[in-house]
Structure 1
Amino acid sequence: MAPSAYAQALNPELSENIKKTPEFLGHESIKKATGEILGFSSLNTVEELEEIMKRARAAQIEWAKKPVRERAAIIRKASAYITKNCDELARTISDDNGKTRIDAVISELIPSAMAASYYSGKARKFLKDRFIVPGHILLANKISRISRLPFGVIGIISPWNYPFAIPFSEVVMGLLAGNAVILKTASETQMVGKALKEVFESIGLPPDVFSYVNMPGKIAGDAFLAAGVDKLFFTGSVGVGKYLMGKAAETLTPVSLELGGNDAMLVCDDADLERAADGAIWAGFQNAGQSCGGVERIYVHYNVYYRFLEILKTKTESLRVGYDTDFNVDIGVMTTERQMKTVETHINDALEKGAVIHAKAHFAQEGKWCNLIAPVVLTEVNHDMLVMKEETFGPVLGVMRVDSMDDAIALANDSSLGLTGSVWSTDRKKAISLARRIRAGAVTINDHLMSHGLSETPWGGLKESGIGRTHGEIGFQEMTEPQVIVEDIMPFVKRNMWWHPHDKKVYNGLKGLLEMLYSQSLMTRLTGSVKMLMLYMRTFKRD
């Protein structure tokens, strides 16, 4: 496999030199802002994945036997590793993904370090047996408890937009729950994948409990399922998610899917407009807009529409967009040329249908950088435009005026996706009421694009944004299967009253149980009680 024509054109001498090195064995990783080759990652074959799966399955048995506190002590070390290697990790993420180093620390490294600490501290509680209160006094001797069992070997296929934080939390939860984990990161960000591999190989995990594989995305899902993974976690496009769900159905392999969003922001007429505009800038343009939970559509009450646009314009035009060389840029470059083309298509579609560019950010530096696109704010948009109907996944905000917040809710829900949303208002009660009406898996009030960083908060969407959850206790439970254990705490009872042999007395006694509990006639209840008690007495003696 030769370096891409794109990379060679930008750095022909570097490409030829690297091509001669022994490290050239598979995927090349490109520095997104300059086109330089960062390195190469060897590719795994399907046969190698099958062998990795066998070793992982054997290792998982012993790993699950370890007390939770021992597993947690190992995982907790990851927080210290991230802290110690913060500069190197931030640079790797920035080079490989395109976001700024500050962005990498904010949205990738800090949440990951917090996640390792949080889940290590909560794992024993999350995995502890839970007793169920008996449903009726007549069966109160049957005590039930719920145990959480690891699936076995879980597979994780992660995306390129948050190449460190998204898989990191899932790996941590999977391991703490007693699973072995096989991770496949995005081909576009292989250097971050290698960095993740180093994190988990440095903290003292037993061999084969964690494995890292590099496979093309078009075959990875099929290969994981064919190899017999016990559960598959996938973050990516709706189309691929639907395909994997269909393939998984053939073997009834459970899946957890996070498939993106076209997320709405609702600005009420009593909102703090400065804060709302700042929030729109952050949630719409951070990571060059490549956030499935970021703002794409904004619906503003007509009373504050023009004032909000004025503030948003000023803040957008003050952004510094470019290559992170000295920390003095706010927005980095996009990750792939393919995604840039999607963004350009959506913008052009909107302009052709009557949209207006209300504000546009400016480039901070001179020079020819790759994958650089200026964030824009569009007005005069409507739901016939791609930017309002589909996931743009780029630094574009479409802003619509609404006559009422009821209209805003209707427009927000006019989407096949439902990952996140937000409501901006100084009236807390009203904001919560509106939030409950948004058909999205996570809704924030006076904030946006931050709940993924809260370890305690479930993450996932409604509608075509996916199924299942990650993060929080609910997400942790996705790494386990529930098992109920029912115990009879009255060992002196010889048998249940419904056991064989059967006769007319058994029938009358069981019917009497129904009459005692649910008849509307007092006399019938009394006679039913007598028949039930006569049957109940047989539980203390053998035939």
Structure 2
Amino acid sequence: GPASGAALPSVPMTTSAQVVDAVDHARVAQALWARSTFPERAACVERMRTFVSAHKHDIARAIAAASGKTVQEALTTEILPSLVMTKWLAANARRVLQPASEAPFHWLWRLRKRPATTVYTPLGVVGLLAPSWQYPFAMPFVELAAAFLAGNAVILNLPLQMVTVGSWIDDAVAAASLPSRHLFAHVVGPGSTIATILSSQRVPRFFLTGSVPVEAMWTHVDAMHGDGVEAITPFALELGMRSCAIVLPDANLERAAQCIAWAGYQNAGMSCTGVQRVFVHRDVASAFARRLCAITSSLTHGPDPDAASAHQQQHHHHHASHPRSRGARASSVSSNLDAAATATPNPPKPHIGALASLDEAETAKAALETAVASGARVAAQSREVGDCTQGFFVPATVLLDVPTDSALITGESIAAPFIPVVPFDAVGDGDDDDELDDLVNRQAQAITASIFTRTPAVARALARRLDCRVVTVNDASFAPGPPEAPWGGWREFGQRRVFGPIGLKEFSREQSVEEPRMHPALEANSSVWWYNGDQREVVEGTAALIELNAPTGLRPWFAAVWILLLLILRRIRMGILRSLRRCREIAAAPLQAVQSARAYLPASLGGARSPPVAAAPPPRGVTFAADGPAKSKEL
């Protein structure tokens, strides 16, 4: 694990044949699942939520052991947001995804069409590829619930390091009592390999989520579009880091310092919403820096003694593969706490955990050395507690005198608990030479920004100038944010939307159904721009409609109205004549049918046919010759 250095349990890899088989079974199961009702789907998600709530401590320990964060951070930034988000999704899926009608805007379509109905249908089998190690439980769990509520089946792939966390997601899905176990499959393997296999199976869409360097994320995208793949699979990206905070002169400095410290240091700086740049007005820069340094110096970093050990993780994985033994976990919380208390009385509890990998820790340390070499000054750092020699720990650090062209301000995002503080002179009015706008918007990787001020009007005006997805005032946002608000990447770091109504619709296809306003029996056989024989009339009518929509002058407008009136009157006349002919045909049809029937009815029923008449016997003494007139013969 990143914090303890202990080996995580080994997990068998999913073979290519098994992935293909999972997709095939998922397609069959999804076809039936798509017919289920929204209350049935919401009930399954509610059972998933109940399972997570009942095992929150065990899940938090597993998250902490796999990702390096503390148990408190796992509960705060993973378990709690997951339950809040999925509750909103289950309660609002029916309202968001039910068919919706929109009245025609233009009078021309309003006369001809009924309001168009938008229908949301499931995508089918979707792939959730989460190469992120920042939130290995919250992000896939919430998106999994959204996919189920939209009527989809899901193939999930997590980073190999987080597979033990994924086994808890497996158990939560098993507790949902889905109508078919094939609606969900957790496949284990490198993300690029899984993406290639799913793309070859024509999975309709991938969802890539995480706050990783862009090169690593695009590796998965390239794999989807690589050689041998005939069709491009649509994908949705949600990336980003390098969020910032702005402290204005009238801000509450104590609140700003407390909030920024938490937003910058939580999850050891490995957060897509983590504050990695702070811009403070020069009038209050020194006072703010003193408060932030004091807070940072009081914090500690190190391994969390409550995190699950490797043995506990192995025990959990054994139970994850045997769902019937899940009840044995209910008592594991108290037993694990008792064992920990017996082994080490009053172990130190750190505020900040470890980075997720050795590469991330080495990158962070190298970035800090580069910043110091370029003139930055380390003003404060967190203190070490416990045995940090086996984990990937980097102290929380406040940096002052940071050059504005430093890589910490303008470069690629770095997963580390570093907060560089940069002063600025004026807020400005948003013109091209505005100093603050240039500092904030030169970095394209920001998802969020925080503004600290006591003047709401100033905050609203400044928020409109910031180039980021979410702006919070006197607070800091952490993923996944408010459940009703959309969330997602920004600019080249992803255009996908997750959470909120837009997030639910991402897992659906939009289909528009248009119906004519008139009854089919009364509809005309042609429209003004169809092939009607006289193309000059079509040209005149279309040109007149264009003039009415975008008038070039009063006289052309009246001319267009006159042309359309003549065409309409001509159409009405033709329609009346056509209707009269049709009425005569309809009226004549019964008479013709009666006349046709009479030809086959006997005369006793009023028909034209007479019954056959028997021949009268010849008179006595009269015979008929075959070749001549009748001759008499006396008897």
TM-score by length of 1: 0.90
1:184 equivalenced with 2:157 (yes/no): yes
For 1:268-292, what per-residue CA distance to the aligned partner results, in whole angstroms no more than 9, with x for missing partners?
A: 1111111111111111100011112
User: Match of 1:196?
Assistant: 169
Work out the CA distance in 1 between the residues paired with 2:81 and 2:207.
19
Whole-angstrom distance in 2 between the partners of 1:505 and 1:463: 48
Q: For the structure 1 residues 429 and 527, does the alpha-carbon distance in structure 2 shift closer, same or farther, using more than 3 Å as the test? A: same
Note the aligned Cα RMSD (angstroms).
2.0
Residues 376 and 237 (structure 1), Cα distance of their counterparts in 2 relative to 1, 3 Å cut: same
* Residue 539 to residue 361, structure 1, CA distance change in 2 (3 Å): farther
Asked if 1:240 is matched to 2:240, the reply is no
Match of 2:475 in 1: 447
Post-superposition Cα deviations, 1:131-159, rounded to whole Å, max 9, x if no partner, equal: 12212223213121111121111111111
| Pair 1:535–1:115, CA change in 2 (3 A) | farther
> Is 2:235 aligned against 1:255?
yes
Q: 1:313 to 1:500 in 2, by over 3 A?
A: same
Q: What residue number does 1:339 align with?
A: 360
* C-alpha distance in 2 between matches for 1:379 and 1:63: 56
* Letter of the structure 2 residue corresponding to residue 155 of structure 1: G
CA distance in 2, matches of 1:69, 1:90: 29
Pairwise CA distance, 1:449: 3.1
Q: 2:60 aligns with which of 90, 106, 123?
A: 90
Deviation at 1:467, TM superposition (A): 1.9
> Partner of 1:229 in structure 2?
203
Are residues 1:382 and 2:403 paired? yes
Relative to structure 1, the CA distance from residue 531 to residue 165 in structure 2 (aligned partners, 3 Å threshold; closer, same or farther) is same
**Distance in 2 separating the partners of 1:373 and 1:451:** 22
Q: Does 387-396 or 502-511 show the bigger shift?
A: 502-511
Tell me which amino acid in the other structure corresponds to 1:184. N
Q: Name the residue aligned to 1:508.
A: 540
Q: Select 2:562's aligned residue among 524, 527, 533.
A: 527
1:155 aligns with 2:183: no
Q: Which position in structure 1 is the counterpart of 2:393?
A: 372
Q: Whole-Å Cα distance in 2 between the matches of residues 475 and 146 of structure 1?
A: 17
The aligned counterpart of 1:352 is: 373
From the superposition, tell whether residues 217 and 507 of structure 1 become closer, same or farther in structure 2 (CA, over 3 Å): closer
For residues 233-290 of structure 1, give each alpha carbon's deviation from its aligned partner in whole angstroms, at most 9, with x where no partner exists: 1124311333444555662322111222211111111111111111111111000111
Structure 1 distance, partners of 2:388, 2:159, is 28
Q: What are structure 1's unaligned runs of at least 5 residues?
A: 1-30
Counterparts of 1:358 and 1:380 in 2: how far apart (Å)?
A: 9
Please point out which of 67, 71, 79 is paired with 2:49. 79
The letter for the 1-side match of 2:457 is K
Contact 1:78-1:116 within 8 A present in 2 as well? no
Question: Kindly tell me: are residues 505 and 441 of structure 1, through their superposed partners in 2, closer, same or farther at Cα, counting changes over 3 Å?
Answer: same
Match of 1:392 among 414, 420, 440: 414
Q: Match for residue 291 of structure 1?
A: 271
Q: Using CA pairs under 8 Å that are at least 6 residues apart, name the structure with larger relative contact order, 1 or 2.
A: 2
Check 1:367–1:127 CA distance in 2 against 1; reply closer, same or farther (3 A cut): closer
Query: Higher mean Cα deviation, 105-114 or 463-472?
Result: 463-472
Offset at 1:536?
4.4
Report the CA distance between 1:230 and its aligned residue: 1.0
Q: 1:484 to 1:248 in 2, by over 3 A?
A: farther
Sequence identity of aligned pairs in percent? 29
Residues 255 and 327 of structure 1, relative CA distance in 2, 3 Å threshold: farther
Helix, strand or coil at the partner of 2:515: strand
1:244 and 1:191 mapped to 2: Cα distance?
Answer: 22
Which letter does structure 1 place at the counterpart of 2:368?
I
Secondary structure of the residue that 2:171 maps to in structure 1? helix
Corresponding letter in the other structure for 2:350: V
SS in 2 for 1:220: helix
For residue 525 of structure 1, report the CA deviation from its aligned partner.
Answer: 4.3
Shift of 1:336: 0.8
Query: Between Structure 1 and Structure 2, which shows a larger proportion of strand residues?
Result: 1
Structure 1 counterpart of 2:294: 314
**Structure-2 change in CA distance of 1:536 and 1:470 (3 Å):** farther
Q: Which has the larger radius of gyration?
A: 2
Task: Count the aligned residue pairs.
Answer: 513
Equivalent residue number for residue 131 of structure 1: 101
Distance in 2 separating the partners of 1:337 and 1:295: 22
Deviation string for 1:11-68 (max 9, x for gaps)? xxxxxxxxxxxxxxxxxxxx32212234222111222111111111111111111112
Provide Cα deviations, 1:159-202, integer angstroms capped at 9, x if missing partner: 11110001111111111111111110111212101111111121
> Which has the higher mean CA deviation after the structures are superposed, 139-148 or 165-174?
139-148
1:167 equivalent to 2:140? Answer yes
8 Å contact 2:213–2:413 — kept in the other structure? no
- Cα distance change, pair 377–482 in 1 and its aligned pair in 2 (3 A): same
Report the alpha carbon displacement of residue 334 of structure 1 after superposing the two structures with TM. 1.6
CA separation of 1:43 and 1:335: change in aligned 2, threshold 3 A: same
Q: Structure 1 residues 506 and 34, CA, compared in 2 at 3 Å: closer, same or farther?
A: closer
Contact 2:272 2:479 in 1 (8 A): no
Q: Distance in 2 between matches of 1:219 and 1:344?
A: 31
Structure 2: which 5+ residue stretches go unaligned? 306-346, 428-433, 582-635
In terms of mean alpha carbon deviation, does 280-289 or 495-504 score higher? Answer: 495-504
